[in-house]
Amino acid sequence: MNKEKRKTLLAPYDVDVDRGFLPMQDPLVAVPAVLQGWCQIAEQLPKLLVAGQVKQFVQAMPLLSTDGLKTTAEWERAMLAFSFIGHAYVWGEKEPPQSLPASLAVPWYAVAKKVGRPPVLSYASYMLHNWRRLKPELAINLSNTCLVQNFLAGVDEEWFILVHLEIEAQAGSALASILPAQQAVAEKNEKMLEEELRLMEKALTAMYASLLRMREKCDPYIYYNRVRPYIHGWRDHPVFKEGLIYTDVTDYNGKPKSFRGETGAQSSIIPSIDAALGVVHKDDYMRHYLNEMRDYMPPKHRAFIETIEKGPAIREFVIEKMPKNKALRDVYDQCVHWMELFRTKHLEYANDYIFKQHQSSQSNPHEVGTGGTPFMPYLQKHRDETAAHILTKEAAEQD
């Protein structure tokens, strides 16, 4: 299948062959004029956080209208600014507040409702819409991108997010192979399916290579103490027993709301590939947590995952054909294997960057992830469940 046909298949879901789940157009750098006051605070966050002045600046802001926002890019840029400011307001000082001022809560909620995500910093704002190219004519990769928005700034914060950015871009060809692969199953075309799975394997290999670069410029100590503290949410967090009050947000009726923090589990890549390869996780709390993470994804990306889940099932077709088609089985197994490796490396990083670090504050617990879960057993569980889907083991047992 040629590139243009792939683009046509992916377009309804805001997915691209070359960009994956990254926006079709590069994100806006400047906040729209209607929100210039907030733009100034967002730009100064690294200085305001060091000075301990975020709350004073936010509380001094008047209530601004979001009516002047028009394009999707403008709404997303506003969401990025409000999300960073909101988390800086909550986590920027020693004692987290129990409520947000109306001047922040009301427009943040309005923007969040428009983009289809909760008013909290999610992966879509933290990464998907938080970058620019140094040279617009060159590729989206680690050597040609930087962040639009930071908390404290610095090499480690930039690198941590930009590694994810490169992985998202590399995932494009893997995502673009899924719907044609399912079409091949529907048509019972074994050769076409094998070709599509080889494209997926190639992309997964590149994604893993990028993940291996995390340690180059992101130190575990710096990550834990200067990057991670600002991305926690207020659900299942020891500091917030009931949640956070969004002052004057009518739909919340003055009641505290609990939202999960930014986490890689909110990326749509792994759920999409899991769905394509038929990697199923046991029906327990952690599976429900993964499903909940979809609420923090852009709506069209959620729809893409749901479309894949409807089938036809690639795994079942491979199992049916593998007695006579070892090549098809082997390339399927390679895709699952790269997913296992990816999850194994992620587990290793979680152990070194978080679990092994010394907890000095209740606000930044090292046994609970930024999404509010006991992440070590969660990551190990999903790695093991992925490995269990490799068919070669099943074939050996049948022979």
CATH code of residue 235: 1.20.58.480
Over residues 309-343, the pLDDT tens digits come to: 999 999 999 999 999 999 999 999 999 999 999 99
User: Containing domain of residue 69, as a range?
Assistant: 3-398
Over residues 276-320, the pLDDT tens digits come to: 999 998 877 677 788 899 999 999 999 999 999 999 999 999 999
pLDDT of 394: 56
Distance (Å, whole) CA 212 – CA 216: 9
Count of structural domains within the chain:
1
pLDDT band at 355 (very low <50, low <70, confident <90, very high): confident
Residue type, 12: P
pLDDT band at 32 (very low <50, low <70, confident <90, very high): confident
pLDDT of 396: 44
E strands present in the chain: 99-100, 132-133, 145-146, 245-246
Over residues 236-273, the pLDDT tens digits come to: 899 998 999 999 999 999 999 999 999 999 999 999 99
Give the DSSP letter of residue 20. Answer: B
Q: Is the pLDDT of residue 147 over 80?
A: yes
Query: ∠ CA(245), CA(251), CA(253), 5° rounding?
Result: 55
Nearest to 140 by CA among 150, 126, 130, 153: 130
Mean pLDDT of 221-242: 94
End-to-end CA distance of the chain: 35
pLDDT band at 275 (very low <50, low <70, confident <90, very high): very high
Residues 6+ apart with CB under 8 A from 244: 90, 97, 98, 99, 100, 234, 256, 257, 258, 259
pLDDT of 398: 44
pLDDT of 78: 96
Over residues 1-24, the pLDDT tens digits come to: 899 999 999 999 999 999 999 999
pLDDT of 399: 40
Q: What rounded mean pLDDT belongs to the chain?
A: 94
Distance (Å, whole) CA 25 – CA 20: 12
Over residues 59-86, the pLDDT tens digits come to: 999 999 999 999 999 999 999 999 999 9
pLDDT of 19: 97
pLDDT of 395: 46
Q: Is the pLDDT of residue 33 over 90?
A: no
The pTM for the full model equals: 0.95
Work out the number of other CB atoms within 10 angstroms of the CB of residue 309.
14
Over residues 99-132, the pLDDT tens digits come to: 999 999 999 999 999 999 999 999 999 999 999 9
Nearest to 374 by CA among 285, 292, 281: 285
pLDDT of 288: 79
Residue 257 backbone phi and psi in degrees, to 5: -120, 140
Distance (Å, whole) CA 292 – CA 159: 28
